[in-house]
Amino acid sequence: MFTKVLIALYPLIVFIALVFIFKFFKLRHITNRKLKIPDIFTIFLILGMQIFSKNATSISVLPYYLLIISGLALVLLLLDLFYYKHFSYRRFLKLWWRITFFITFIIYIGVVVMVFVH
């Protein structure tokens, strides 16, 4: 039961910790306001998703997740090349990483639902 509560509260705990870390170390000012909380939060969600999916269901979600974000990268690359006729790696990486955050969060919520239903 404690594991299920920890799985559900993990994103909230990490988010609150990151807010305090960003405020304490003034990371936004150091990076000229380019680094944001979702950029770091994504990494912690990926780690949590891997650990909790492996412990709770004995199935690792990470290979499927990597397949999804790799497909996203290919789609964004093709859209960049066909729509803009020019490739800017900074714009591509920024857009890809921000969309990866949303996909990671949705998959993490799916893992939480799967743990509670299972």
Predicted local confidence at residue 56, as pLDDT: 81
Task: State pTM to two decimals.
Answer: 0.88
pLDDT tens readout for residues 6-63: 999 999 999 999 999 989 988 888 888 888 899 999 999 999 999 988 888 888 899 9
State phi, psi for 74 to the nearest 5 degrees.
-65, -45
What is the maximal distance between C-alpha atoms in the chain? 53
How far is residue 25's CA from residue 41's CA, in Å, rounded to a whole number?
16
